[in-house]
């Protein structure tokens, strides 16, 4: 009666999954009601697979020997990437296997096709490990908060960028220097693009938005900005104003006159008040803030990456799958939280239509009347200003920085105001624009 | 195909449950695959029931007309208390109804009998709302973290006491004054015993320990201390030392030489480092810190009480129950996370056998050698000291306070040291002893 699992990928998370399942085999079986065992491991590097298996599982370089094998009940996909993983997952589904995956890129981009195929074939595709590592946020959104109309989500869901931002703030260093250190420490990859440009966070935000709002995956419509161009100066000014800058993945419903308008789906550096719990999430930790209409604010915190935290989520999915392995599909939790025939076609709003607070920084000539000109331009567009910071110019300098914090405004209006501000002869160079959320 | 629910109790949470289920009926049905409707409400106060129902459900004063009714699928018990609730829940189970309850007192004290009856009869008893209101902590411990050997849990799980402690600290007021204000504001009940003496928190800690460690409910063995005797002076000294005092519910596994020894189950005021996220949980909010061997540290935060946050959990349970209503019981998640035939007989350790850090405050005569005597007594018992605080005596005073923080030690040894310290002629009056956890 043992559930037989085939593992694709013997890298860090694959090794962690094998280790956790072996070490906690007894407790896991006491929970699941059946033993769960990885019986076969596929990896192109056979030695690596053999080191993980250590004689306790068959090893192969041929992943198809797992996805097609009649003696395998569940396939765990930990290869990552789009193409090969997609082919293997689709073959596993076609062969009637349940699938557990940690692959956010795959689900954000090809999830709609994968879930349709899984529904058709009557198998489960579980993906707790795809978002925020060991934090059971998928289960929380899909089941624990199922009573709620989920209004919005804001998550620190990429550990690499949070580590870099924490170091930039606490040590006052520029981005490039901290990135180089993070790469040396193994916190950032040799090619850090996916992390620092916000793509990884956007994959995860896409998945959370789908299960929160009951829509298909809409990664192609996400607005994505990373932290590559973030100036240490803005972190410092934000701190003086009582804010910290975090790379947030945000999904928020919007209505007009009580009718659904769409939802915002965006990843970007964001000012949040230093007093908020989310602002205190430092280093490589992850946290997701969720607001539901009944529950109010909630927050889920933990390690977002690493071998065993991610394995914790993979194995929790294996336990879930085990429990309903032989149940009628109607008794299972739907993949995307909502029944597949009840998904909504709520669109993602274009970035110009989002609402946010804004941080605007500009260099201005040190002469009377500049601030009055700038604030008039902002006020004319119906945007109200919360705070202004204008440090004294240094000795011998004839320009200074001005920082404005606005209340919530439509981004399109803010863009117009910025264009008008940049046209002022007393404003020197482009305006730096960051978004701000007060999480209330 | 609508799931027909009978509601027992039309108080705050009952009204919230009816409201959430009605307001979000569409989204909930899209998630659950079936509509869920409260069709009958029982309350001794028929007017109150009628106000909640507002013509959309039958009302009755006779709860047995719900628990025995053949047309009811699920009974929601929101009456609270031990005796009547127990009788009704057992009758509902005997009649083959599934039960959803928010009643922590009932489960902590009578849970073992209730779950045995439910298992026997093949029905579900769901209780997410019993711990930490809207935070889906039961589901996280039972399912989301199912891969882990859960090592320990520390929770701020009583909003009334957390509100009182937050106010005592931020405003420097004594316990009695803040309690009186909390009662005026409705944050504390007219008879606040269950909250301030730690009994409510102990009920919740008991339930979390059972599902984390796979044991029966062991409320009778819990060690319980409330905040009634907490001196504002100790909150101030703790803050000077870098700590905040929270009423924590703690459940921790203990081993010796790799063999299970038992677990600690205790509720008491606890010093935690101010830098920890848990220390920043203020006012009536709840948060539960969980350490699992694979996932590491995690934290779950949100509103622990109130009509709609609690309703969020009740309705999430209704969705869960709906999904597996007609499934074979083998396909369901076991009530206590572990299969009923796989529970452990791990005992609760007596309080003398717990390990903790300690805060010891004593008034001493202002003369040389006192601190040396005290620290020698502590060191002789193998207890090491982390910090010492000894404020200068006020003008004209001839005694002063001494505060010691110890590293982790066995409580029995600390008690012995306290007895020896109190026997010193230079130590004036009893030693104040608080426990301390660094959450690392």
Q: Please report residues of A whose CB lies closer than 8 A to that of B143.
A: 136, 139, 316, 319-320
Residue B393 pLDDT grade (very low, low, confident, very high; cuts 50, 70, 90): confident
The reply to whether residue B294 touches residue A302, judged by beta carbons under 8 angstroms, is no
Question: With an 8 Å Cβ cutoff, is A330 touching chain B?
Answer: yes
Catalytic residues of B, by residue number, are 204
Choice between B23 and A396, residue whose per-residue pLDDT is larger:
B23
Nearest CA in chain A to B133: A295
Q: For A3-126, give the CATH class.
A: alpha beta
- Summary mean pLDDT of chain A: 95
Q: Does CATH place domain A137-302 in 3.30.360.10?
A: yes
The pLDDT value given to residue A258: 86
The pLDDT value given to residue A331: 81
Which CATH code fits B354-436? 3.30.70.260
Among B43, B46, B54, B44, CA closest to B10? B43
The pLDDT value given to residue A26: 95
Q: For B144-302, give the CATH class.
A: alpha beta
The three-class DSSP label of residue A403 is strand
The reply to whether residue A309 touches residue B295, judged by beta carbons under 8 angstroms, is yes
Q: Please report residues of A whose CB lies closer than 8 A to that of B315.
A: 146-147, 294
Nearest CA in chain A to B146: A316
- Rounded to an integer, the average pLDDT of B94-122 is 97
The reply to whether residue A323 touches residue B333, judged by beta carbons under 8 angstroms, is yes
**How many Å apart are CA B15 and CA B12, to the nearest integer?**
5
How many CB pairs (< 8 A) connect A and B? Answer: 227
The pLDDT value given to residue A329: 79
The reply to whether residue B140 touches residue A136, judged by beta carbons under 8 angstroms, is yes
3-state secondary structure chain B: CCEEEEEECCCHHHHHHHHHHHHCHHHHHHHHCCCEEEEEEECCCHHHHHHHHCCCCEEECCCHHHHCCCCCCEEEECCCCCHHHHHHHHHHHHCCCEEEECCHHHHHHHHHHHHHHHHHHCCCEECHHHCCCCCCHHHHHHHHCCCCCEEEEEEECCHHHHHHHHHHHHHCCCHHHHHHHHHHHCCCCCCCHHHHCCHHHHHHHHHHHHHHHCCCCCHHHCEECCCCCCCHHHHHHHHHCCEEEEEEEEEEEEEECCEEEEEEEEEEEEEEECCCHHHHCCCCEEEEEEEECCCEEEEEEEECCCHHHHHHHHHHHHHHHHHCCCCCHHHCCCCCCCCHHHCCCCCECCHHHCEEEEEEEEEEECCCCHHHHHHHHHHHCCCCEEEEECCCCCCCCCEEEEEEEEEEEEHHHHHHHHHHHHCCCCEEEEEEEEEECCCC
The distance of A277 to chain B (nearest Cα, Å) reads 7
Instruction: Enumerate the domain spans of chain B.
Output: 3-126, 144-302, 354-436
**A277 closest CB neighbour out of B280, B313, B337:** B280
Question: Is the pLDDT confidence value at B392 over 90?
Answer: no
Question: With an 8 Å Cβ cutoff, is B293 touching chain A?
Answer: yes
- Rounded to an integer, the average pLDDT of A367-393 is 93
The reply to whether residue B24 touches residue A149, judged by beta carbons under 8 angstroms, is yes
The reply to whether residue B315 touches residue A342, judged by beta carbons under 8 angstroms, is no
Q: Which CATH number fits domain A355-436: 3.40.47.10, 3.40.50.880, 3.30.70.260, 3.40.190.10?
A: 3.30.70.260
Angle between the A307-323 and A25-32 helix axes, to the nearest 10 degrees? 30
pLDDT for A280-324, tens place per residue?
999 999 999 999 999 999 999 999 999 999 999 999 999 999 988
Q: Please report residues of B whose CB lies closer than 8 A to that of A159.
A: none
The reply to whether residue A20 touches residue B294, judged by beta carbons under 8 angstroms, is yes
The pLDDT value given to residue A397: 84
Residue A367 pLDDT grade (very low, low, confident, very high; cuts 50, 70, 90): confident
The pLDDT value given to residue B29: 95
- Rounded to an integer, the average pLDDT of A335-360 is 94
> In CATH terms, are A3-126 and A355-436 the same topology?
no
pLDDT for B193-228, tens place per residue?
999 999 999 999 999 999 999 999 999 999 999 999
Q: Please report residues of A whose CB lies closer than 8 A to that of B33.
A: 330, 334, 339
pTM: predicted TM-score of the whole model, two decimal places? 0.97
Mutate which of A1, A18, A146, A310 to test chain B, going by most B C-beta atoms within 10 A? A146
């Amino acid at each position: 009666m043992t559930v037989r699992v085939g593992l694709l990928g013997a890298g860090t998370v694959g090794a962690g999954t094998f280790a956790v399942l072996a070490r906690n085999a007894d407790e896991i079986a006491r929970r699941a009601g059946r033993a769960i065992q990885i019986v076969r491991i596929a990896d192109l590097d056979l030695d690596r697979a053999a080191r993980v298996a250590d004689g306790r599982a068959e090893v192969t370089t041929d992943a198809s020997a797992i996805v097609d094998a009649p003696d395998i009940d569940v396939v765990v996909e930990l290869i990552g990437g789009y193409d090969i993983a997609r082919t293997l997952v689709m073959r596993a589904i076609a062969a009637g296997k349940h699938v557990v995956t940690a692959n956010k890129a795959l689900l954000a981009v090809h999830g709609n096709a994968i879930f349709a195929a899984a529904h058709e074939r009557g198998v489960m595709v579980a993906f707790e490990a795809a978002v925020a590592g060991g934090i059971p946020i998928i289960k929380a959104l899909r089941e624990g908060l199922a009573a709620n109309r989920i209004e919005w989500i804001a998550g620190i869901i990429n550990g690499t960028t949070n580590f870099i931002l924490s170091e930039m703030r606490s040590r006052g260093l520029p981005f490039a220097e901290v990135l180089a250190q993070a790469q040396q420490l193994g916190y950032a990859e040799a090619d850090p693009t996916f992390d620092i440009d916000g793509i990884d966070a956007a994959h995860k935000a896409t998945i959370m938005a789908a299960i929160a709002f009951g829509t298909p995956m809409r990664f192609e419509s996400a607005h994505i900005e990373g932290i590559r161009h973030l100036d240490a100066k803005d972190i410092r000014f934000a701190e003086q104003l009582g804010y910290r800058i975090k790379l947030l993945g945000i999904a928020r419903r919007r209505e007009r006159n009580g009718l659904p308008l769409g939802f915002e789906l965006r990843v970007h550096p964001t000012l949040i008040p230093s007093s908020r719990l989310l602002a205190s999430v430092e280093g490589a930790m992850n946290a997701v803030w969720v607001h539901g209409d009944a529950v109010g604010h909630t927050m889920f915190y933990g390690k977002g990456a690493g071998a065993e935290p991610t394995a914790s989520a993979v194995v929790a999915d294996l336990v879930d799958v085990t429990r309903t392995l032989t149940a009628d599909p109607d008794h299972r939790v739907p993949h995307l939280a909502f029944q597949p025939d009840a998904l909504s076609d709520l669109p993602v709003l274009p970035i110009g239509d989002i609402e946010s607070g804004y941080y605007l920084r500009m260099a201005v000539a040190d002469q009377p009347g500049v601030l009055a000109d700038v604030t008039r331009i902002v006020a004319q567009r119906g945007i109200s200003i919360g705070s202004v910071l204008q440090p004294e110019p240094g000795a011998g300098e004839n320009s200074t920085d001005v920082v404005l914090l606005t209340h919530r405004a439509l981004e399109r209006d803010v863009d117009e105001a910025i264009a008008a501000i940049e046209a002022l002869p007393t404003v020197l160079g482009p305006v730096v624009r960051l978004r701000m959320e007060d999480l209330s």
